[in-house]
Amino acid sequence: MRKATLATAAAMFMASSASAQLPFLSKRTGPPPQQQQQGTLQGVEALKADFLAKTGADTIFFGLDSAQLGAPARTTLAAQAAWLRQHPEVVVRIEGHGDTGDTRDHALAMGARRAEEVRSYLVLLGVPAAQLSATTWGKERPGSPRAVTVLVR
Amino acid sequence: MFSEIRIIAPLLAAGCIATAATAQQPGTAAATVVAVPPLSTPEDKQTSAGGTLSIAWQASQLIAQDLRTTSETMPLPPAQKDYYSYPEVTAPTFSKWRSAGSKVLVTGFVQARSDGRVTFGCYVYDVDKGREVLRKGFVVAPEEWQRAAHKCSGLAYTAVTGAPGAFDSRIVYVAESGAGTFRTARVAIMDADGTNHRYLTTGDTMVLTPRLSPKALRVAYVRYEGGRPSVRIMDVNSGNARPIVPSDAVTFAPRFSPDGTKILFSMMLGPNSDVYVVGANGGAPQRLTTSPGVETDASYSPDGSKIVFESDRSGSQQLYIMSADGTNVRRLSFGGAAYASPEWSPDGEWIAFTKRVPGGRQVGIIKPDGTGERMLTRGPGDEGPAWAASSREVVFQRSDAIGNSSIFRVSLDGSEPRNVALPQGGSDPDWSGVMD
């Protein structure tokens, strides 16, 4: 749980500089980031930086009310898949986000669909399913409809 | 301990209510004036919650306050100088109330019992006809006098409208406090008049969409477990909670059946969201929809025979009705916009929904046969209507441009939505039925 929180915070911070993702203005967030654990953080930080450098982006964007992967998304995911195959020890969680203008529960489902589209495409590209999990934040973390690949460990 | 008793004479049959009531339809502008003279006591005796005369006086004020919150009733509040004798409770001087302009009169008494509890008697009269229309008695712990007073308010409301009064009920919602990363979300519960407010979860994990069982004894809600949303059910009094399905699947959108024995919810299977039902005490979930796409926000008809839900199978979110076993699906909404989060009214007459129009979200109602669609709010950030037990009002969430949410209630009579006072921001409100 602590690792997940750290990874989420790190991902959000780095994403804001590396991609077009909105800053972390979340209306409803999880618990606040906890104190860093020496050692583990170094590893995740280094891996995270390498992941971003090699794949270009941790965030895939979608159209409104859509879970379809466009060509740019597929290019990014191909790079993510290649990196993940080279790092079989790394586990990622794909976090899907819904549209801010949507209703609560449909947004949750759309976030889950987007995360699942990304997850199954990565599996299609040869990433072992055990390295991947998917979840949804619905419209609880405002921003564009998207799915973010978050390094858990 | 809250028990209803018969007082002095047997209760009138329910059939008599409608004929005696000053029937009023939604949309009528004028509120019915209800006289609420001070409740009486045969003898002022001390109880664990103070003297019976003092309780009677406070209860009269609470009844007047309750009746002020609805658009159909306008109380003629109690004045302390209007001493009201015990015999007058059952033999009112109707001419006095007629000349005061009231159509309905509420009288009552509070009497200490030898077992430490109190008897709370409540009588409702049709002033024009000069006769009793409803009466009820309750034996309660002295500390529970507010609930008895709420029941009495409900009796007066029923006499006016023919609908149940929702005063003795509870509202649950997500309390939002703090800012930025330190924003917390907690499930909170309160009485319908805003009293007895308390938090049911601690705020260490995000929570969403709490829903009350019909008698407000349990709450089903979504909590993030290990980063995933899943539905839990909590006993309101003990605080004990458990997941409704033992799985790490994404589950959400819970809603109790009208009898409280079942819970409808949504579960993701791959990219698919479908509607399932599970016993409120556990058991294996049963899948009710199979269409690809997002099926969610299911709600039973009051007799439990049908379910309204939303689906995007047509390309946009629309409302559908099916039989409780998942068969006989038909589309309900055709208004040229996206429709979501339907809830069936307790009297079965209406389905409340959220409509996604260009520029925002609004709350409206539609008949189960697809006619009578009408918007109750103009948005732009309204969603998630939940019915009051009266079926004449809904509570909903209103969000402003920067994402701050609060809770509003709006009556079907076309009046403006009113803010529900909360200690902090709030979202995802749900309103229980009348408690036992």
Specify whether B134 is located in the same domain as B179.
Answer: no
Listed residues B117, B141, B161: the one ending a domain:
B161
Residue A67 pLDDT > 80: yes
Task: Work out how many domains chain B is built from and give that number.
Answer: 2
Asked if B250 lies within 8 A of A136 by C-beta distance, the reply is: yes
User: Which residues of chain B neighbour A116 with C-beta distances below 8 Å?
Assistant: 268, 270-271
Give the long-range contacts of residues A23-27, CB within 8 A, separation 24 or more.
A24/A141, A24/B180, A24/B181, A25/A142, A25/B180, A26/A140, A26/A141, A26/A142, A26/B180, A26/B181, A26/B183, A27/A140, A27/A141, A27/A142, A27/B176, A27/B183, A27/B403, A27/B404
Listed residues B161, B183, B204: the one ending a domain:
B161
Asked if A67 lies within 8 A of B271 by C-beta distance, the reply is: yes
Specify whether B153 is located in the same domain as B194.
Answer: no
Of B185, B252, B271, the CB nearest to A105: B252
Specify whether B247 is located in the same domain as B110.
Answer: no
Q: Which residues pair with B107 in a beta bridge?
A: B123
Asked if the structure places residue B410 within a domain, the reply is: yes
Of B209, B250, B340, the CB nearest to A106: B340
Give per-residue pLDDT as tens, A77-105. 999 999 999 999 999 999 999 998 999 99
Asked if A120 lies within 8 A of B340 by C-beta distance, the reply is: no
CA–CA distance, A45 with B295 (Å, rounded to integer): 39
Listed residues B110, B130, B161: the one ending a domain:
B161
CA–CA distance, A121 with A114 (Å, rounded to integer): 11
| Domain extent for B259 | 170-431
Of B181, B208, B252, the CB nearest to A29: B181
Specify whether B416 is located in the same domain as B317.
Answer: yes
Residue A28 pLDDT > 70: no
Task: Quote the pLDDT of residue B29.
Answer: 55
Specify whether B27 is located in the same domain as B123.
Answer: yes
Task: Output the domain CATH number for residue B67.
Answer: 3.40.50.10070
Asked if the structure places residue B57 within a domain, the reply is: yes
CA–CA distance, B262 with B194 (Å, rounded to integer): 28
Hey, of A34, A92, A95, A108, which one would you mutate to test binding to chain B, going by the most B CBs within 10 A of its CB? A108
User: Which residues of chain B neighbour A140 with C-beta distances below 8 Å?
Assistant: 206, 208
pTM: 0.88
CA–CA distance, B400 with B331 (Å, rounded to integer): 31
Specify whether B156 is located in the same domain as B177.
Answer: no
Task: Quote the pLDDT of residue A1.
Answer: 39
**Average of per-residue pLDDT across A49-62:** 93
Specify whether B156 is located in the same domain as B212.
Answer: no
**H helices within A19-103, ranges in order?**
40-55, 71-86
Task: Quote the pLDDT of residue B351.
Answer: 98
DSSP, res B235: E
| Complete domains list, chain A, with CATH | 2-28+36-151 (3.30.1330.60)
Specify whether B174 is located in the same domain as B156.
Answer: no
Of A28, A33, A104, the CB nearest to B209: A104
User: Which residues of chain B neighbour A4 with C-beta distances below 8 Å?
Assistant: 226-227
Asked if the structure places residue B436 within a domain, the reply is: no
Q: How far is A64 from chain B (nearest CA, A)?
A: 11
Q: Which residue has the higher pLDDT, A40 or B160?
A: B160
Task: Evaluate whether B160 touches B34 at the Cβ level (below 8 Å).
Answer: yes
Of B181, B228, B316, the CB nearest to A32: B181
Specify whether B44 is located in the same domain as B143.
Answer: yes
Which residue in chain A is spatially nearest to B363 when comparing CA positions? A103
Specify whether B82 is located in the same domain as B176.
Answer: no
Asked if the structure places residue B388 within a domain, the reply is: yes
Task: Quote the pLDDT of residue B20.
Answer: 37
User: Which residues of chain B neighbour A117 with C-beta distances below 8 Å?
Assistant: 271
Residue A35 pLDDT > 90: no
Which residue in chain B is spatially nearest to A66 when comparing CA positions? B315
Q: Which residues pair with B409 in a beta bridge?
A: B395, B418
User: Which residues of chain A neighbour B383 with C-beta distances below 8 Å?
Assistant: 103-104
Task: Quote the pLDDT of residue B85.
Answer: 85
Asked if the structure places residue B375 within a domain, the reply is: yes
Which residue in chain B is spatially nearest to A118 when comparing CA positions? B271
Specify whether B146 is located in the same domain as B190.
Answer: no
Q: What is the pLDDT along chain B (436 residues), one digit of tens a residue?
A: 577 777 654 333 333 343 334 444 444 457 999 999 999 999 999 999 999 999 999 999 999 999 999 989 999 988 877 778 888 898 999 999 999 999 999 999 999 999 999 999 999 999 999 999 999 999 999 999 999 999 999 999 999 999 999 999 999 999 998 766 667 999 999 999 999 999 999 999 999 999 999 999 999 999 998 889 999 999 999 999 999 998 889 999 999 999 999 999 999 999 999 999 999 999 999 999 999 999 999 999 999 999 999 999 999 999 999 999 999 999 999 988 999 999 999 999 999 999 999 889 999 999 999 999 999 999 899 999 999 999 999 999 999 988 899 999 999 988 899 999 999 999 999 999 999 8
Asked if B181 lies within 8 A of A138 by C-beta distance, the reply is: no
Specify whether B49 is located in the same domain as B195.
Answer: no
* DSSP assignments along B131-179, one per residue: EEEEEEEEEE-GGGHHHHHHHHHHHHHHHHHSS---SS-EEEEEEEES-
Task: Quote the pLDDT of residue B362.
Answer: 97
Of B182, B204, B229, the CB nearest to A136: B229
Task: Output the domain CATH number for residue B318.
Answer: 2.120.10.30
